[in-house]
Amino acid sequence: MFPKNGEDEEEVLEELRSKTADDLTFDSGRILGSMCTYPHPFAVKIIEEFLDRNLGDPGLHVGSQRVEREAVNMLASLLSLEKGYGHIVSGGTEANILAVRAFRNLARVEKPELILPESAHFSFIKAGEMLGVKLVWAELNDDYSVNVRDVEEKITDNTIGIVGIAGTTGLGVVDDIPSLSDLALDYGIPLHVDAAFGGFVIPFAKDLGYEIPDFDFRLKGVKSVTIDPHKMGMVPIPAGGVIFRERKYIDAISVLAPYLAGGKIWQATITGTRPGANALAVWAMIKHLGFEGYREVVRRAMELSRWFAAELKRISGVYLIREPVLNIVSFGTRNLETVEEELKERGWGISAHRGYIRIVMMPHVRREHLEAFLKDLREIVRKA
């Protein structure tokens, strides 16, 4: 019901707090399976100060638009590209949809098909449905990376693009992007890399000495990359990123908005009115932490995941789905459903819907949280 009379701010706030009291919070240390985290306090400050900026009308907020371009170029540079074309968008879903849309519009085939790994995020299902693109699923190898030979076998005259994943949603696996890139070049088909999660992990992990294959614009077949600052970038939701190698991809998805303050402008994003503050927060966080700052965040997360994986292996009745590649550790247990239920009952924010439990070592996850989780897990599995 729409209330007739207003109430005091304090009263409204009180009610809201009580209504959301059963939300899990990141600082409780109970959320172990999410790819989001508590945003960095500096990013929160930026959002507060620049809350009114709308990148949907860049003629009004010319400076913010410039900052968004700089943020895009900083992300491009992290991905080994000097100048990139793209946007800070609402998340990995929008980023993936925009990439598929660009590939489809440029391909101009009657019955467009997209080849993607069986491990791809469900955002591609939305993309396929909305854009009228048939999804052709490629098989996985035993190590859960995509089978490149199967990808090749599925290429047809209708193929508009290939998707590779750098940090799969369930297991954090990085596909063999170098081979996918070679394949894409051989057949003249664009390759999109979904690094929504891995984009803010892999460059730093590689610098720390972890052996992870190349995944970015260094590989010539890679034409677009999804990289989400609202995951490991510690920027508040919504902040996704899509970067294209060339301008033609952005041009292919731009729609004329003829009446805005900036005159005739072209808009490539799905959302019209969109938060400038979050794009500014991406810029500010990158400037504030720098490569070294993010590398430190990733170092902690990677070390924690290796330690956690080793601890899991010591519990009988628990097994790793595969050795972790990034800061995601996924495991199964005997009587998984019962174990999941019991863990949830004890207040753990996890799920086992994929047939295993996924733990993501986000910046808010600390060793003491994991120790408490392991203690519960040991007890529960012993009885299960």
Between CA 227 and CA 75 the distance in angstroms is 8
To which residue do tokens 């047809």 refer? 156
CB nearer to ligand 0PR: give 104 or 192.
192
Look at residues 151, 170, 184 and name the one whose alpha carbon lies nearest to residue 358.
170
Cβ proximity to ligand 0PR: between 169 and 278 the closer is 169
Q: How far is the CB of 95 from ligand 0PR (least distance, A)?
A: 7
- Report residue 233 CA to chain centroid gap: 10
Would you tell me how many other CB atoms lie within 10 Å of the CB of residue 254?
16
* Distance of closest approach, residue 213 Cβ to ligand 0PR, in angstroms: 16
As measured in angstroms, the least distance from the Cβ of 8 to ligand 0PR is 33
**Interface with ligand 0PR (CB under 6 A):** 34-36, 91-93, 96, 121, 123, 165, 169, 194, 196-197, 228, 240
Query: Cα(273)–Cα(218) distance, rounded to whole angstroms?
Result: 33
Nearer to ligand 0PR, 107 or 193 (CB): 193
Q: Which is nearer to ligand 0PR, 228 or 342 (CB)?
A: 228
Sign of CA dihedral 297, 303, 307, 312: positive
Nearest 10 degrees: Cα torsion 47, 51, 56, 60? -120
Spatial separation of the C-alpha atoms in residues 202 and 214, rounded to whole Å: 9
Alpha carbon distance, N-terminus to C-terminus of the chain: 46
DSSP state of 123: H
Which amino acid would we find at residue 261? Answer: A
Residue 50 or 200 having the CB closest to ligand 0PR: 200
Nearer to ligand 0PR, 73 or 93 (CB): 93
| Shortest CB 343 distance to ligand 0PR, Å | 16
Residue type, 101: R
Q: Is the Cα torsion angle 353, 355, 361, 367 positive or negative in sign? A: positive
Report the C-alpha gap between 340 and 347 in whole angstroms.
11
Shortest distance, position 230 Cβ to ligand 0PR, whole Å: 6
Nearest distance in Å: CB 128, ligand 0PR: 14
Q: How far is the CB of 165 from ligand 0PR (least distance, A)?
A: 6
Nearer to ligand 0PR, 164 or 190 (CB): 164
Residue closer to ligand 0PR by CB (options 61, 274) is: 274
119: number of CA atoms within 13 Å, CB side? 24
Distance CA 273, CA 63 (A): 16
Q: What is the DSSP string of 231-258?
A: TTT-PPSS-EEEEESSHHHHHTT-EEEE
Residue number with CB closer to ligand 0PR (226 or 381):
226
Question: Nearer Cβ to ligand 0PR, position 35 or 250?
Answer: 35
Please state the closest distance from residue 126 (CB atom) to ligand 0PR, in A. Answer: 9
How many angstroms separate the CA atoms of 116 and 156, rounded? 13
Neighbours of 270 (CB within 10 A): 17
**Shortest Å distance, C-beta 29 to ligand 0PR:** 15
Residue 219 near residue 190 (C-beta atoms within 8 A): no
